[in-house]
Amino acid sequence: MRVASVIFVLGAFVLPARAEDRSVLANCKAMVERASKDSNAASEAELSRCRQVIREWALRDARMTVDEQGRPLR
Within 8 A by CB and 6+ apart from 67, the residues are 73
CA-CA-CA-CA torsion sign (19, 60, 27, 38): positive
Q: What is the pTM of this model?
A: 0.60
Please tell me which residue, 19 or 42, carries the higher pLDDT value. Answer: 42
Q: Which tens digit of pLDDT belongs to each residue from 3-13? A: 445 454 445 55
Q: Rounded to whole angstroms, how far apart are CA atoms 67 and 61?
A: 9
Q: Which tens digit of pLDDT belongs to each residue from 24-50? A: 999 999 999 999 888 887 889 999 999
Within 8 A by CB and 6+ apart from 53, the residues are 17, 18, 19, 24, 25, 28
Closest CA to 33 of 21, 47, 14: 47
